[in-house]
Amino acid sequence: MPASMTPTGTLTEARLDRDELMFVDETDAAQPAGDAVPGLNWRVLVVDDDADVHSTTIFALKNVEMQGRPLEFLHAYTALEARAMLEREPDIAVILLDVVMERPDAGLQLVRQIREELGMHAVRIILRTGQPGYAPELDAIRGYDINDYRTKSELTRTKLYTAVAAAVRSYQQLCALDASRSGLEHILTAGTQLMTLHGVRDVAQGVLRQVATLLGQRPAGVLCVRESGQGRPDVLHVVAAAGEHCHLEGGELSPQRHALLAGAVGRALRERSCTEVDGWLALHFPGKAGRDFAACIPFARSIGDIERRLLKVFTSVVAVGLDNVELVTHLNQAAFRDQLTGLPNRTRLVELIDALLAGPQRASATLALIDLDHFAETNDALGHHFGDLLLVAVGRRLKSRLDPKLEVARIGGDIFCVLGNADAVQPAPIQALFRESFHIDGQDVQVSATLGLVRLPEHDGSGADALKDADIALKRAKSQQRAGHFYFSRSMGVEIRERVRMMHALRSGFQRGELFLAYQPQVDLANNRAFGAEALLRWRTEDGRLVGPDRFIPIAEYSGLIVDIGEWVLRQACAELVRLRAAGHREFTMSVNVSQVQFRHPHFVDMLRRALDDTRAPPEYVELEITESMAMEEPALLVEKLAQVKRTGVSIAIDDFGTGFSSLSHLQRLQVDRLKIDRTFVTEITGSARGSSIAEMVIQLGRNLGLSVIAEGVEDERQAHILRTLGCPLAQGFLFSRPLTPEALLEWLGNQALIEAA
């Protein structure tokens, strides 16, 4: 029912006469507080299906001010009408709500919708009922977040005023807290965003944008810095401007031409505070370096107490940023130069490459990385100061003796870079610069360099990508020949990217359980009886594709993941050994390959002991396989490491024996138990006298040293026969069995037992 139709008179007087109310004229009572100004009033929504209640409420609270602001009334006569009004009307502070309207619980259901569906948590709700005891008072207040709960009969004018005043104060406090929280969140965000900007102008522009957002208006005004000149008055220089004042940016605020702006800024700087002057809001940002900043923005209204406090926090945050922005700018400039040589650094070089790639010079440009050979040894032997002087001398020679049009940079450590026309960036003349010794600190030092080069016409990536490609070429050059050079090719890029892709896939696959073990039986050639098995690592990807160990194991070693994978393999193999023994295969040996990276890990022996203890695998039936190349590197360290391993009770086999260059005297010192003849020589024994002689030599060597010998890769009966003739006692290969799953291995061993029994 609209307010103009609200009945007044005797019933209204009767309901309020207990407090001897002074009533206004009936015509006035029909108006919903016509002197209320939207946005400056406390908005009260009266929800009741009884029109008299609406009139009574207006009579009771008409012309009342709370917290210095009048009340403005809105009216709804059903819960549905109230909800619609709440969705479209902002800033409602208090709801006077009837419990029983179109339904007995309409009021309580509306409260639930207000809190849960509309998300209005600040508005205060005073529940009124004409049926005392209909809703339990405590339960209603506790369950529905109600500010007050009264029967209509007890709501006298004084009590109604008291309840509404308390609700208004509560609403005001909640709004203040919310405004403070939102403002502080904005200030934190603004501070973070401002720190990402570079240069005084960009930061100043950001300040104008952020303060406008904080105050809820569009960016406008100026941000100035006070600069003191030699023998001249202070000048207000406009660092940034926004809105209709954009034309002032970069100029000076003149007291004559910009009297209001200059006056407001000057007052803020003098008083060192935020001030309001003739429709302008001036903010002061104190600077520790003696250069104070001030912003001046148009602001039509007076700022509230919360806004003033938030602005004080905001100016403090911004002051730090403005005070340090010159330092940041300096650091950004320094970030583009190598501090030691003064040459462009990696960051600047990437920019130079990007610029060259975007221009016509790309068609004839080459990028070369220059790595000083054995610089680390020189640095360690002669000291870091000497090394720094050498780097400076190298940079100076490259810069002074190469084409002046070339860009010379130092991108880190002992790596320099030359960028420019391909005719001038040639390996031979660059390396020729290093044939002449460098005179450093009274000494002549001879240094060579290795080069990795990229022809930019063939490059289709960014500057950073080109630098990566040059680094790939450099690594290839260093792996082939020091003091040489190598040009990057697309195939090299594909290879390295595939390696990186596989490295990530392997790490993920390991975590998802895609790796598994297969077991290849090892047999006694005298009776073809299995005495053990070799645990072989396999990888089946999510799509069911098998990846060969020759592809993923080197990547696991390169990435260091082999340490974790190797421990998992050892534990799985030991656990399988225990299961086999429980099934009756008590004399069965489990052989496990150990990577060089894994074996060299300082905690390898501790890991081995833990694996044996945790799985309860008998160490005398566990064999570790190391490669011949591992056995020959750093003999003294290996002897000690193998001694520690042997003390755990496990045995040691040398895998791929015959492919390296073993020292027999060194081999005698190693505490190994078995030699494995490489499959290459097993394959050759049927058609090559050399292959047969190498296999025979290994067998004889094992016999002389008292070592067991096993041949791997035996694929046909003829090879097995020759090995028996040569005196090889043990073998493994497809002739006997392919690698088997744990279940298949158990079945295979059972079948072998049946054959033997037959």
User: How many whole angstroms separate alpha carbon 356 and alpha carbon 487?
Assistant: 19
Task: Write the pLDDT tens digit of every residue in 73-110.
Answer: 999 999 899 999 999 888 898 999 888 887 877 888 88
* pLDDT score for 536: 97
Which residues are 532's β-sheet partners? 522, 589
* pLDDT score for 493: 66
Residues in the chain, overall count = 758
* Section 226-231 average pLDDT: 58
Strands (E), 441-497: 443-445, 449-455, 485-487
Least confident of 143-157, 338-352, 532-546, 736-750: 143-157
307: burial class by Cβ within 10 Å (0-12, 13-18, 19+)? Answer: buried
* Section 552-567 average pLDDT: 91
Among 192-206, 545-559, 629-643, 691-705, which range has the highest average pLDDT? Answer: 545-559
Which residues are 410's β-sheet partners? 416
Pairing of strands 415-421, 365-372: antiparallel
* pLDDT score for 21: 30
Among 24-28, 261-265, 493-497, 614-618, which range has the highest average pLDDT? Answer: 614-618
Q: Are 676 and 710 in contact (CB under 8 A)?
A: yes
Q: What is the DSSP string of 6-49?
A: ---SHHHHHHHGGGT-----HHHHTSS-TT--TTSSEEEEEE-S
* Section 192-212 average pLDDT: 67
Whether residue 64 has pLDDT greater than 90:
no
User: How many whole angstroms separate alpha carbon 735 and alpha carbon 740?
Assistant: 14
Q: CB within 8 A of 498, min separation 6: which ones?
A: none
In the three-class reduction of DSSP (H, G, I as helix; E, B as strand; rest coil), residue 104 is classed as coil
Start-end of CATH 3.30.70.270 domains in the chain: 346-488
Start-end of CATH 3.30.450.40 domains in the chain: 197-334
Q: Are 516 and 540 in contact (CB under 8 A)?
A: yes
Q: Are 549 and 537 in contact (CB under 8 A)?
A: yes
User: How many whole angstroms separate alpha carbon 552 and alpha carbon 279?
Assistant: 72
Q: Which of 218, 213, 180, 177 is nearest to 194 (CA)?
A: 213
| Percentage, residues of the chain above pLDDT 70 | 82
Given pLDDT bands bounded at 50, 70 and 90, which one contains residue 428?
Answer: very high
| Region at 485 (left for phi over 0; alpha for psi -120 to 50; beta for the rest) | beta
Single-letter code of the amino acid located at 604 = F
Start-end of CATH 3.40.50.2300 domains in the chain: 3-179
Q: Are 378 and 318 in contact (CB under 8 A)?
A: no
User: How many whole angstroms separate alpha carbon 207 and alpha carbon 295?
Assistant: 9
* HEC assignment per residue over 633-680: CCHHHHHHHHHHHHCCCCEEEEEEECCCCCCHHHHHHCCCCEEEECHH
* pLDDT score for 398: 95
* pLDDT score for 193: 55
User: How many whole angstroms separate alpha carbon 567 and alpha carbon 603?
Assistant: 11
Output 472 or 575, whichever has higher pLDDT: 575
Least confident of 32-46, 484-498, 508-522, 652-666: 32-46
User: How many whole angstroms separate alpha carbon 236 and alpha carbon 590?
Assistant: 84
Given pLDDT bands bounded at 50, 70 and 90, which one contains residue 6?
Answer: very low
Residue 56 phi, psi dihedral angles, 5° rounding: -60, -45
Q: Which two tokens mark 268?
A: 């803020």
Given pLDDT bands bounded at 50, 70 and 90, which one contains residue 3?
Answer: very low
* Section 662-676 average pLDDT: 76
Q: Which two tokens mark 628?
A: 């011949």
User: How many whole angstroms separate alpha carbon 406 and alpha carbon 409?
Assistant: 10
Span 346-488: which CATH code? 3.30.70.270
Architecture field, domain 3-179: 3-Layer(aba) Sandwich (3.40)
* pLDDT score for 607: 96
Pairing of strands 443-445, 275-277: unpaired
Q: Which CATH number fits domain 197-334: 3.30.450.40, 2.60.40.420, 3.90.1260.10, 3.30.300.30?
A: 3.30.450.40
Q: At what angle do helices 549-559 and 490-512 cross, to 10 degrees?
A: 90
Asked whether the CA dihedral 371, 374, 378, 384 is positive or negative, the reply is positive
* pLDDT score for 187: 55
Given pLDDT bands bounded at 50, 70 and 90, which one contains residue 156?
Answer: confident
User: How many whole angstroms separate alpha carbon 480 and alpha carbon 426?
Assistant: 19
User: How many whole angstroms separate alpha carbon 297 and alpha carbon 215?
Assistant: 11
Helical ranges in 360-462 per DSSP H? 375-382, 384-401, 427-432
* Section 599-603 average pLDDT: 89
* Section 428-454 average pLDDT: 92
Q: Are 93 and 167 in contact (CB under 8 A)?
A: yes
Given pLDDT bands bounded at 50, 70 and 90, which one contains residue 685?
Answer: confident
Q: Which two tokens mark 486?
A: 């190598």
* pLDDT score for 500: 83
Output 103 or 745, whichever has higher pLDDT: 745
Going from the C-alpha of 336 to that of each of 189, 349, 563, 615, the distances in angstroms are 28, 8, 39, 56
The total of other beta-carbon atoms located within 10 Å of residue 559's CB is 17
Start-end of CATH 3.20.20.450 domains in the chain: 517-757
Q: At what angle do helices 490-512 and 562-582 cross, to 10 degrees?
A: 40
The total of other beta-carbon atoms located within 10 Å of residue 716's CB is 11
Whether residue 26 has pLDDT greater than 70:
no
Given pLDDT bands bounded at 50, 70 and 90, which one contains residue 275?
Answer: confident
User: How many whole angstroms separate alpha carbon 568 and alpha carbon 346?
Assistant: 41
Whether residue 692 has pLDDT greater than 80:
no
Answer whether CATH 3.40.50.620 is correct for domain 517-757: no
User: How many whole angstroms separate alpha carbon 731 and alpha carbon 527?
Assistant: 11
58: burial class by Cβ within 10 Å (0-12, 13-18, 19+)? Answer: buried
Which residues are 366's β-sheet partners? 420, 455
Q: Are 113 and 82 in contact (CB under 8 A)?
A: no
User: How many whole angstroms separate alpha carbon 183 and alpha carbon 177?
Assistant: 10
| Region at 366 (left for phi over 0; alpha for psi -120 to 50; beta for the rest) | beta
CA distance from start to end of the chain: 105
Asked whether the CA dihedral 135, 137, 139, 142 is positive or negative, the reply is positive
The total of other beta-carbon atoms located within 10 Å of residue 648's CB is 15
Q: Are 324 and 194 in contact (CB under 8 A)?
A: no
* pLDDT score for 533: 97
